[in-house]
Amino acid sequence: MIALTAAALFTPTERIADAMLLIEDGTIAEVTSRGSRTLPNHVRVVDLGDDILAPGLIDIHIHGGGGRDVMEATPEALPTVEKLLAAHGVTSYYPTTVSAPLDDILSSLDRLANAIESCTGTNGSGLRARPLGIHLEGPFLSHARRGVHPPESLLKPNAALFDRLWQASRGHIKVMTIAPELDQAQETIAEAVKKGVCVSLGHSDAPLGAARAAMAVGARHATHTFNAMRPLDHRDPGILGLVLTNSDLTADIIVDGIHVDPSVVELFMKLKGPDKAVLITDATSATGMPDGHYRLGSFELEVKDGRCLTGGKLAGSVLTMDQAVRNVMKFAGLELGEALRTATLNPAKVVGIASQRGKLAPGARADIVVLDSSYRVIRTVIGGAGI
């Protein structure tokens, strides 16, 4: 058994001062304070001094990092991404596809399924974030709001095509972004929901009615709010009218100060609240790399001064999750516990893993990030490894 002691711990819904966390066999055994618990015998104590313990961060929308893309057919791609994620406090992630020729998507889903089924978190090559499922972003997107997704790779949704994608992933698709205004979108959403997929509304030009209809058949999340969405209009509120006002819909947002103005991030947090908002990175292969040219799926992007562009359009980000946490505190005035919730417990709830991840509680996996007083990552623990 290992005992971690620190100045404070965020569960994240509760703050514990002078904290002590006990770990046994990769699982959290107890969360308490040093003053209320006598250490058991034969415990190895790791004193973290003035640092802060928090749940490991979870990114449910990420395309790559460290010069590598998650759709690459190379063995070193995912380990490179996973090492970078772990260095920034991410313990679990959902590799995210982009629209591509159908055969390429099917091949990528098969490779990602292999990675999910074989990943142990270290694999002899250092501490690595663990892929827990796949986020299928495309091909069921609106041409009008496709962003940088290639128009020739967008497909009309239907239940049969979704099932083909599902079979290729061997059931590992856990999030699917879809434009609800497309023909047969509702039937496709219903089929995905039956299989336990979190259906997320995004890359959409939907009017309010179409968005409501999608929720009625099981859609329950929104993808990178404001980006690749019909703008809010006071007479025709569209999809954003639903996202910003419906408390049953969770929603994620890219808080890099580029995709969404800080003042709008503050508005978003006030409307969704710290229980329904989710931070994502939408990070590309350029994350953690110098300015230059990189890949996003099948196409090239250019990175300059923190902006990822292709054809003059934003194409993902170079944001890291720990920076997103610090940014949302600065932009929206959130307390640390609230900001952590949007990067830990909330995404865990979205993808259905909150019983085991996204929190520091007895019985949960020992996925932990250690932060200093400036909320920068000092250490990442994945399944008890890394202490």
- Domain 57-357: homologous superfamily in CATH: Metal-dependent hydrolases (3.20.20.140)
Report CA-CA distances (Å) from 259 to 55, 65, 253, 256, 272.
26, 18, 9, 6, 18
Coil, strand, or helix at residue 237? coil
Is 282 annotated in the active site?
Answer: yes
How many other CB atoms are there within 10 angstroms of residue 126's CB atom?
12
* Percentages of the chain per state (helix, strand, coil), in multiples of 5: 30, 30, 45
Residue 31: the pLDDT is 97
Residue 120: the pLDDT is 53
State the Cα–Cα distance between residues 234 and 170, nearest whole angstrom: 43
Q: Record the pTM.
A: 0.97
22 burial type by CB count under 10 A (0-12 exposed, 13-18 middle, 19+ buried): buried
Q: What are the beta bridge partners of residue 31?
A: 21
How is the chain split into domains, by residue range? Answer: 1-56+359-387, 57-357
Residue 13: the pLDDT is 97
State the Cα–Cα distance between residues 108 and 37, nearest whole angstrom: 49
In order along its 387 residues, the chain shows pLDDT tens digits of: 999 999 999 999 999 999 999 999 999 999 999 988 888 788 999 999 999 999 999 999 999 999 999 999 999 999 999 999 999 999 999 999 999 999 999 999 999 999 999 975 444 457 999 999 999 999 999 999 999 999 999 999 999 999 999 999 999 999 999 999 999 999 999 999 999 999 999 999 999 999 999 999 999 999 999 999 999 999 999 999 999 999 999 999 999 999 999 999 999 999 999 999 999 999 999 999 999 999 998 889 999 999 999 988 999 999 999 999 999 999 999 999 999 999 999 999 999 999 999 999 999 999 999 999 999 999 999 999 998
Residue 39: the pLDDT is 83
Look up tokens 């580029």; give the residue: 258
Helices then strands, each counted (H, E), the chain: 10, 22
Coil, strand, or helix at residue 382? strand
How crowded is the C-beta side of 137, counted as CA atoms within 13 Å?
29
* 60-85 CB burial, b ≥16 within 10 A, e <16: bbbbbbbbbbbbbeeeebbbbbbbbb
At the top level of CATH, the class of 1-56+359-387 is mainly beta
Q: Do domains 1-56+359-387 and 57-357 have the same CATH topology?
A: no
DSSP state of 332: H
**Active site residue: 69, 282, 322, 367, which one?**
282
CB 371 within 8 A of CB 8: no
